[in-house]
Structures are given as structure tokens and as C-alpha cells.
Structure 1
Amino acid sequence: MDVIKSQQISSRPIDKVVVHPLVLLSIVDHYNRVARDTRKRVVGVLLGSSFKGTVDVTNSYAVPFEEDDRDPSIWFLDHNYHDSMFSMFRRINAKEHVVGWYSTGPKLKENDLNIHGLFNDYVPTPVLVIIDVQPKELGIPTKAYYAVEEVKENATQKSQKVFVHVPSEIAAHEVEEIGVEHLLRDVKDTTISTLATEVTGKLAALKGLDARLKEIRSYLDLVIEGKLPLNHEILYHLQDVFNLLPNLNVLELVKAFAVKTNDMMLVIYLSSLIRSVIALHNLINNKMLNKEHDKAEDSKPVAVPTAAATFWQILQREALSEVSGRLGNYPIPVSTPLDEVTDCRHDLVNQSSIVSHRGLSIRTCLVVMDASRIRMKAPVEFKLPTFNSDADAP
């Protein structure tokens, strides 16, 4: 595929492409989920902004993509998924718009120009950023391109689009830099030793020392038994080793070890004591707060409904339920508050007045409710009478 260098174009619509770390992390995650340990590549959409020839790529999302390895002209990109994802991203951040698309290449392919043409509907000059997810050399793992129309010198030949290489760089905001620093802490570096490697090295050294001491003892036993000849040079070296060892029986050394051990144990004891006191203090404070909260809950007045109000509420619900059952409207659940039941009563009167419907007069039922409210003073078992007309009402 033909690629024109950026120096060969005098006026360029895009001077450089800036890629943020979040985009790189998203693309690598997309590749590991879909095409890891395969020869396939992944494709997605780049979001960001463009200002004075600088394209700032701040976000991205993956798009389902398939292509035929044998025939590059056969490929599929899910437009519906792209449209739905872009609409959701627009709701979150309206400042970000489509600036191009990405591919894990790692190089340009024959069908890239055809795919690139799809994004002309979203941005006049889309960019293609190829990310090398498995770089073999140190450097920036991004290469950016945009398409231009190349006019042939021969008028009989048709013009065609070619890719133009544009410089790219990695940049981040302050918040992104903090996040990247935290991520880099978990990245293992072979040049930096960890506690596990240090302990493993010391353990191997102690095992080697133990093997050498056993070998020296075996040699000396064989010399004493007369199985090996006496070698003065070896004995001189062994004497030098023993001369370098400290004398642990010196009183000053024993006292220094004892003082240091006592100081360390005292610090451990004080730390444990302070930790226990703080834990008890927090426990007492928690108990006091819970006790005050319980007292405040107990001191709150509890509203106890009167007998007349209880009966009136039950009667109104039963009556309106009977009315709503006949009319097919206004379902009154048992837990409906009294004021809402009263509002429903007025609504029924205003809507249907005294017109009878389905054999029951609404005014008749409401008259029974009002009369029962005045006469009854305590909750009793009752059954709402059914009247067919206003003449049957008491």
C-alpha cells in the first residue's frame, strides 16, 4: 500500500496526533480479550477533539470486526454497534466526537482504505492509528495516518486515495499521570529486587555455607583418621576463617545484644498496648453513640390512630373498593392513607356525579360512607350494603 511521507505535502490538515494512556490501555485490553495468541487484529473507534491541526485522542471503544485472511476485500464492521456506542458516549461527554479509528495491524493492510472511508461520514479527515500491542523495540508503539486524494500526472488515470504519515506522540493529563504511576508500581521489573528474591538469595547462600562447613568437617575427620595426608596450606586458610569470626563470649557484646533485644521487645509491647487502647476507645464511643440513638428513637412520639379514625379509614376503603370494582377504575389498596382516600372520594363525585353506572349509584355509596362516619364510634365488623338506585339508600 502506498504511503506518502508528511514532508512531501506543503499544507496538511493534521500536524500531529496525541494519544492518551487510557486509549492505549483500552486497546491492549481489547486485543487480549479478542485476538490474543492469534494472527487476527482488532479494530475500534477513536474519540477526542481536533484543534489547529492537532488531533487529541482521549477515549476509544471496541467495535466487532471480522475479515477474511485469504481475501482482504471481504470484511465486516458492525455499524449498528458503533452507532449505539457512540450515542451512549455522547450522553456522557458531548465534547468528545469521532476523530478516527484504530487497528492493531501491526502494519497497514489492503482493505484499510475502504474501512477508512466509512469514517468520513463522522469527521471530514479521520485518522488511523496503528497500535503495536507486542512491540519488539523500545519506542512509541503508535503510528498515525490520514488519507488524501492523489492526482495522477496522466489525465487518463483515475485519482486514488493514499495514506499520509503524520507524527504521533503520547501525552497525558495530570489525573492520568497519577493513574499510570499507580499501574507502573505493579509492573514487574527484573532489575528491581523484591523481598521474595532477596529471601531466596539469602536462603541459597545459607545452604551453600552449610554444605561447605560439612565438607570441611568431613575433610578434618579424614585427616584425623589418617585416611588423608595433612595439608598445612588448607589448615592455614581454615585458621584465617576462624580468626575472622567474632568472639560471642565477650561481655560487652553479650550486653549489647541483650540491650538491643530488650529495646525491640519494649517497642513491640508499647505498640500492642496503644493499639488495644485505641480499639477499646473506639468501641466505647460506638456503644455511646448507639445508646444515644436508641434514646432518641424511644423519645419520638408514636401516632396512634383513634377508633373512629380507624373505622372511618376501613369503611372508606371498602366503599370505594366496591365502587371502583363496579366502574373498573380507582383501585384502592389497603395501605392507602386516609387523605388519599378522601381525595379519591371527591374525584369520584366530581367525575360521575349522581349518575348510576352498572347498577350502582356512586352518590348512594358515598352517602352510606358519610352516615357511617357520623354514627359509628368504634371499629366493628361490617359488610357494605349494595344499592341498585338512590331510592334504596337509607
Structure 2
Amino acid sequence: METPSATPSEVAVHPLVLLSVVDHFGRCDEGDEASKRVVGVLLGEQRRGRIDVTSSFAVPFEEEDDASGIWFLDHVYLENMYRMSRKISAKEKIVGWYSTGPKLRDNDIDIHELFYAYAQEPVMVIVDVRAENANIPTSAFAAQIEVKEDGTEKQQKTFVHVPNSIQAFEAEEIGVEHLLRDVKDNTVSTLSTKVSEKVHSLRGLKTRLEEIKGYMDKVVDGTLPVNHEIMGHLQDAFNLLPNLNLEEYVKGFNVSANDSMLVVYLSSLIRAVIALHDLINNKVQNQERERALDAAAATEDADKENKEKENEKSADADQKMTDAK
């Protein structure tokens, strides 16, 4: 392998990989969705510490539900599939493996050791296939030797998080756009779609804030050690927040809120006027319809009376002629 041995700095997962993983998960037995997971191989390229995961294929995998550490991965199937994929795309090499987790398990470090035979520094990507997940569905990890506080190393590896993202080539972006256009529900209005997207974004933000709060609580309690890098990122995030106590921000928020409420008020007023106008038109139409029905009924009654009078006159004339004879 020509890949460097350094831990990758970033992992970019392409849409085709996500679709393949979801298809692999959907084709498995649906009898035990709560604890089941699927495992497969990731293919791609590594350049300057960045790994582009462009393809993948499924691998037969089984494991015990308990913590016994018994699992099985079909090596022969893996090597045959990799050999056939090299005939199609020689640039794509094994860069790691994926799992549908949705969290790390005890057997993952042992499975990860297996892929050192195919890549110098393989990565593990957990793809969360749950429908209720509103965040980025991928998490990337790499294995590192755990170092003690006194600086000595012990022969035990642990997973460390690697930054990851969802990226696509131009051709993939076009395909994803067409796919989303086909699955789009035309019965849903654009406004409701935007509101739904805002709700999903706020739910994702709430989840992240809860994770930060949980981490800070554990640091305060002494359960976790202080990580200065994480603290630095949190401080940078808080420094980007605007100071809402400034008079300009307060005035700007008030003006924006008043403008929005004015639009809502005018919309409600126009809606009420239109509803009253339709009500009046409906009442006028009903009155005209009732008048027409009454006039038709009066005309019909008059015609009946005229016919009855004519019948009476003809009967009297016939009676007189009979009496004369």
C-alpha cells in the first residue's frame, strides 16, 4: 500500500456510500432491528491525509448479542469482492470499513485490527440509518495506541474521533438533486417544507447543546479529564455569539419583530375582510336564490288556480247544456 501511516486528518463520505449502506441495512433480516447492525468495506483514495470514501460493498458479518466477543467476518468474500472491484476501478483501494452501530461496540477494535492487512491506517465510519436522526449520519474513527499519563505506551489501541463530512463530486450532486426531486412530496407546500427544515435544524442544535452540557457536567464532576482542545473549540464558539445586551441589537430585534408582527396583522386583517366579503356574497346569493324559488312557486300556484277556474267554467257550461236538452 502507498497510503501513509499517519492518522487521517479528515474523512469525506460520498452520497453513493450512504445509499449503499442504507440498502445493505434494508436487505437484512428485519426481525431484530433494535440490536442488529451490518458491516462492510469502504473504498476510496487518500491524499495528503484526507480520505475520500467514494464506494463500498457489503460483507457477510455475524456476531453474538452478548458481550462474549464472538463475531464472524467472511474474509474470502471480502477478498473476492475487492479483486473484482479493482477490475472496475483500479484507483479505489480499501481505506477502512463501516458499521451501522449506531455506537461503538466492544468488538469494533478487534474488527478494526483485521483491516490493517488491507490498509496501513484504516478508518471506521459509523453510519446512523435511523430515520429520526436529523444530524449528519456519519461518524469517523481511527485507532491509536493509548498513552499513559507518565508517557509510556501500552499495547492497547483505542478509537479517536476523526473530522468527517458529506461531500460529492459534480456528477453525484446532479444525481442527488434528481433523486430528491423524485421523492419530493408535491402535496406539501414550500412554506411547510421550510418550517420542517427549520424544526429539524433546531432539533439538531438542541441535541448538540445537550451533548456539550453533558460533557461539561462530567468534567465538573471529575468523571472526565479536562481536554484543553475541546475547551478551546467551545470558547471559540461562544466568542462568535453576538452580545444581545447592546442597544443596537435590542433595537434591531425590536424593529424586526415589529415588522414581522405588522405583516402578520395585515395578513390576518386581509384574511378576515375576505372572509366577511365571501360571507356577504354567499348570503346575497342565497337570498336571490330564495326569491327565485318563491317566485317560481307563486307562478306555479297561479297557474294551478287558473286551470281550476277553467275546469270549473267548462263543467258549468256542460251542465247547462245538459239541462237545456
TM-score in terms of structure 2 length: 0.55
Q: Contact 2:146/2:158 (CA < 8 Å) preserved in 1? A: yes
Structure 2 Cα separation of the partners of residues 178 and 157 of structure 1: 48
Alignment partner of 1:81 out of 77, 84, 90? 77
Q: Tell me whether 1:42 sits opposite 2:38 in the alignment.
A: yes
Q: 1:238 to 1:54 in 2, by over 3 A?
A: closer
Q: Tell me whether 1:22 sits opposite 2:16 in the alignment.
A: yes
What residue is the counterpart of 2:59 in the other structure? Answer: 63
Q: Contact 1:151/1:159 (CA < 8 Å) preserved in 2? A: no
Task: Give a deviation string over 1:274-313, Cα, whole Å, max 9, x none.
Answer: xxxxxxxxxxxxxxxxxxxxxxxxxxxxxxxxxxxxxxxx
Q: Contact 1:35/1:41 (CA < 8 Å) preserved in 2? A: no
Compute the RMSD of aligned alpha carbons.
3.0
Classify the secondary structure of the residue corresponding to 2:113.
helix
Q: 1:121 to 1:179 in 2, by over 3 A?
A: same
Q: 1:244 to 1:72 in 2, by over 3 A?
A: farther
Q: CA deviation at 1:13?
A: 2.4
Q: Tell me whether 1:130 sits opposite 2:126 in the alignment.
A: yes
Structure 1 Cα separation of the partners of residues 89 and 52 of structure 2: 15
Classify the secondary structure of the residue corresponding to 2:87.
helix
Q: CA deviation at 1:72?
A: 4.0
Task: Give a deviation string over 1:197-227, Cα, whole Å, max 9, x none.
Answer: xxxxxxxxxxxxxxxxxxxxxxxxxxxxxxx
- Between 25-34 and 70-79, report the one with greater CA deviation: 70-79
Structure 1 Cα separation of the partners of residues 59 and 76 of structure 2: 10
Structure 2 Cα separation of the partners of residues 157 and 114 of structure 1: 19
What residue is the counterpart of 2:229 in the other structure? Answer: none
Q: 1:178 to 1:243 in 2, by over 3 A?
A: same
What residue is the counterpart of 1:356 in the other structure? Answer: none
Structure 2 Cα separation of the partners of residues 139 and 239 of structure 1: 51
Q: How does 1:373-392 map to 2 (within 5 A)?
A: none
Task: Give a deviation string over 1:303-340, Cα, whole Å, max 9, x none.
Answer: xxxxxxxxxxxxxxxxxxxxxxxxxxxxxxxxxxxxxx
Task: Give a deviation string over 1:135-180, Cα, whole Å, max 9, x none.
Answer: 5342210000000111334699833101010111001111111111
What residue is the counterpart of 1:257 in the other structure? Answer: none
Structure 2 runs not aligned, ≥5 long: 191-277, 289-325
Q: Tell me whether 1:243 sits opposite 2:284 in the alignment.
A: yes
What residue is the counterpart of 2:7 in the other structure? Answer: 13
Structure 1 runs not aligned, ≥5 long: 1-10, 195-236, 248-394
- Aligned residue pair count: 196
Q: How does 1:196-215 map to 2 (within 5 A)?
A: none
Q: 1:16 to 1:72 in 2, by over 3 A?
A: farther
Q: CA deviation at 1:74?
A: 0.2
Q: How does 1:170-249 map to 2 (within 5 A)?
A: 170-189=166-185, 192-193=188-189, 241-243=282-284
Q: CA deviation at 1:70?
A: 1.6
Q: CA deviation at 1:26?
A: 0.2
- Which one has the largest radius of gyration? 1
What residue is the counterpart of 1:218 in the other structure? Answer: none
Query: Which letter does structure 2 place at the counterpart of 1:77?
Result: L
Query: Which letter does structure 2 place at the counterpart of 1:241?
Result: N
Structure 2 Cα separation of the partners of residues 115 and 89 of structure 1: 22
TM-score in terms of structure 1 length: 0.46
Structure 1 Cα separation of the partners of residues 137 and 126 of structure 2: 8
Structure 1 Cα separation of the partners of residues 115 and 131 of structure 2: 27
Query: Which letter does structure 2 place at the counterpart of 1:243?
Result: V
Q: 1:190 to 1:143 in 2, by over 3 A?
A: farther
Structure 2 Cα separation of the partners of residues 123 and 96 of structure 1: 12
Classify the secondary structure of the residue corresponding to 1:70.
coil
Q: 1:243 to 1:99 in 2, by over 3 A?
A: same
The structure showing larger relative contact order (alpha-carbon pairs under 8 Å, at least 6 residues apart) is 2
